[in-house]
Structure 1
């Protein structure tokens, strides 16, 4: 492909048409919205309140062709070595049945093993288990936390506490809500060497010992791509649930990292979660690019990051069950696409991932929406909402939630003029809305898979590798040196902080 900045320049017209004026074009809503039929109900993706138009769409289709998006998509599902910097495939889709035949078969075998352990625990093989303390960090914690918080609110089979922070206060807070006599510990670490996770794991086992639990290591399950290290650490092989090293941490909820989800909700619900994601895989694989939700959403992302110079993207879940989604997407999008070189290691001359941030509606309306409506930063906003409430209270609650959500998108687009400048709204501010029938295991699986594929499309068009994350390593190395794990000289500021903290 030719020089990327020159290609981006083709998108900038002499004068941008306001979004509301685009609705004068025939079939605007039809052409820039997609209704995807998923196992958990339909999901409606409305991109009509963006600046995408047919001219821009044609240019993006040319760009997708030049970047071989179709071939890269096929390579992802074929299990090819698309994680070039680490020399391996990225096979999270195989965990839900879509990928290389051998990888799908292995994933099914490992899931059968996990299912047997889950059902044995539910059947009393470990005694009475009412609680699970899940210890991980990054994708090993964010995924399970999101799914359990969204789906496990009504009488879960087990109460799950997810702890990721190495701050001991997080563990102590979890301990206070758990009964050691009925608690199982799940340690989630791809390498089983992650410093924060292993320190928390040691403290958790010590807690069981101090509370008088016989054979505390017998109460530990390992979720890892390094089973030998888990056994060496002290966990019996029968309680080690492996997953393939071709499954990245932030893409791992579909693997044995989903163990606490299956424990909390039951295997049938976890299986429905996988099937929902598999349906989105099929949509991504088979739908024409112009009717393909991940592809079209990525085109909008690219337009605002590259052409409109928006450095952030805001995500607001208008549903309390999805309150952890913005945090989950922060890692998925920024760790995947927060890069500065191409897949070939060539420095980039253009932006990559915007900063993902957000919150929960309607709380955010009274906190950050002032900037979105009248601030000097113009940035894309995404709303996620469910037609069906997650409660049995007065329907007025949900009606108020829905009307607030839809009103924000309308107000961002249209604005309002006034004689008093402080009361004027410029409008022409973009938003997308994702409307689910309900939040169920299958619809949540489809939604998360949508975001995975959207992130992948962004990466392909940008020419980067979304499956490595070397940027997190340097800070770890320096922290290790500070803890006596290596020789390193520090700058005067850092040295003074070390001295003042008596490290």
Structure 2
């Protein structure tokens, strides 16, 4: 086991003995994991395909921890924006920043996609018990049904919109932002935009063109990747919901994990050992997927956040030098909250023909008034991991069924009730869901993802694979407008058929 930042990680149910652990640590040393960790924290441009530093850890560093990168004190920049965020969040929460009609804001709508939505939405829903500000809603999908469902609950005069886009040109985000602006101006007029819209962006000119003032624009930087951006001004809606003090407690939890990751020897380093176990299961034991089962309803969106973090970071097929990988990179990551998953896909985990390693995440103390149900939840989580490891032999099944079946009927029933066992899992205990421990949990998985990229020798911080489909969508839209573009026969025929509906 390893314990760090209030998290307790038991990996004794993994198929790892001392010889395997030593070999995995030798691999980490061969790949210079410690050196790469130091380079990231020092602000070197380890995102080499975009020539950028990778400094999401600076977003939760204390004010006293100076970091100069490319001649600029990054820590000063971060806390300047954090202070502006805190002042604005408090003005909305206290009702001193008001709408165009002089009313207080009861609702905030965060418009973004990818990292501008998954992280803030997940944290907001996980920490819902700690929110005491305006109600915060999230819109990401370009499917207008999502925006419509949110807007029909709201009053224009009491609604504040936060539009989050680094370039302020992201197609899905700007489509939703423009639709929201039309909804607002129909009710309150064009002048209301300046009072009701806030931007989180690096592109001041596009923001100004939309109608948002510099005073209501919050910046972040090129060294903040989208899936790592929730700790920046991208989390403004969170700060409004939680308040600055709880927001900083969440940052502090992440910073504690950063310090553990940066300073702890590899053998006792929680993110490093989690990554080494993942490589063992993926590349040496052949597991094609990784399951995450969080035994807490409030962590319902944790897997969705984690999917982007892991698969957008490490879903690559070339090394850092551009040569083809000779081993598989990230497995498909999936899962759901316990105990729901037990009645959905756990049958496959226990008796399926392939092995799928599981990370169980268990906040031990509940935040609801039903302690008996929390006891059942804890028991189910621990029992499932034990059952995956232990299994059930044919002889044990025969003992159970004697008296119900005899002879041939007994032997026919046995194979269906055998559990092979020896199926790997790890269990991560956290005391409870609160801002500090959620921050530590998220940073843990961020660093696990980075270590995996080092072991596979890939760049975890670009995402060129996201771009192609977006560009082709623009081509398809031109075809829908009747413009002459070249489409493959299948797509052209699908578009032709779609036009008949």
SS of residue matched to 2:188: coil
Find the partner of 1:77 among 41, 59, 75: 41
Which stretch shows the higher mean deviation, 260-269 or 220-229?
A: 220-229
Find the partner of 1:378 among 352, 355, 363: 355
SS of residue matched to 1:201: helix
Taking structure 1 as the reference length, the TM-score comes to 0.90
Taking structure 2 as the reference length, the TM-score comes to 0.91
Deviation per CA, 1:280-330: give whole Å up to 9, x if none: 000001111111110000011001110111110000110011111011110
Instruction: Give the whole-Å Cα distance in 1 for the aligned partners of 2:91 and 2:136.
Output: 17
Deviation per CA, 1:226-283: give whole Å up to 9, x if none: 2332123221000000011110000001100010110001010101111110000000
Answer yes or no: is 1:138 the counterpart of 2:106.
no
Q: Tell me how far 1:61 sits from its aligned partner.
A: 1.6
SS of residue matched to 1:316: strand
Answer yes or no: is 1:260 the counterpart of 2:237.
yes
Q: Tell me how far 1:488 sits from its aligned partner.
A: 4.1
Instruction: Give the whole-Å Cα distance in 2 for the aligned partners of 1:111 and 1:122.
Output: 16
Q: How does 1:52-451 map to 2 (within 5 A)?
A: 52-97=16-61, 100-101=67-68, 102-123=73-94, 124-126=96-98, 127-153=103-129, 156-212=132-188, 215-393=192-370, 395-417=371-393, 418-419=397-398, 420-451=414-445
Q: Tell me how far 1:72 sits from its aligned partner.
A: 0.6
Q: Tell me how far 1:179 sits from its aligned partner.
A: 2.1
SS of residue matched to 1:334: helix
Instruction: Give the whole-Å Cα distance in 2 for the aligned partners of 1:112 and 1:345.
Output: 41
Deviation per CA, 1:208-236: give whole Å up to 9, x if none: 11233651232111111223321232210
Instruction: Give the whole-Å Cα distance in 1 for the aligned partners of 2:91 and 2:484.
Output: 48
SS of residue matched to 1:215: helix
Q: Tell me how far 1:390 sits from its aligned partner.
A: 2.1
Please, which runs of 5 or more residues in structure 2 have no aligned partner? 399-413
Instruction: Give the whole-Å Cα distance in 2 for the aligned partners of 1:154 and 1:108.
Output: 23
Q: Tell me how far 1:99 sits from its aligned partner.
A: 7.3
Are the counterparts in 1 of residues 290 and 356 from structure 2 also a CA contact under 8 Å?
A: yes
1:50 alignment partner in structure 2 = 14
Please, which runs of 5 or more residues in structure 1 have no aligned partner? 1-32
SS of residue matched to 1:252: helix
Q: Tell me how far 1:501 sits from its aligned partner.
A: 1.5
Which stretch shows the higher mean deviation, 343-352 or 212-221?
A: 212-221
Instruction: Give the whole-Å Cα distance in 2 for the aligned partners of 1:368 and 1:330.
Output: 18
Q: Tell me how far 1:85 sits from its aligned partner.
A: 0.5
Bigger Cα Rg: 2
Are the counterparts in 2 of residues 77 and 99 from structure 1 also a CA contact under 8 Å?
A: no
Which stretch shows the higher mean deviation, 426-435 or 48-57?
A: 48-57
Instruction: Give the whole-Å Cα distance in 1 for the aligned partners of 2:114 and 2:239.
Output: 19
Q: Tell me how far 1:155 sits from its aligned partner.
A: 5.5
Output the aligned Cα RMSD: 1.5
Moved beyond 6 Å, runs of 4+ = none
Instruction: Give the whole-Å Cα distance in 1 for the aligned partners of 2:105 and 2:195.
Output: 13
SS of residue matched to 1:333: helix
Q: Tell me how far 1:473 sits from its aligned partner.
A: 0.7
Q: Tell me how far 1:154 sits from its aligned partner.
A: 5.7
SS of residue matched to 1:315: strand
Are the counterparts in 2 of residues 50 and 432 from structure 1 also a CA contact under 8 Å?
A: yes
2:411 alignment partner in structure 1 = none
Are the counterparts in 1 of residues 201 and 218 from structure 2 also a CA contact under 8 Å?
A: yes
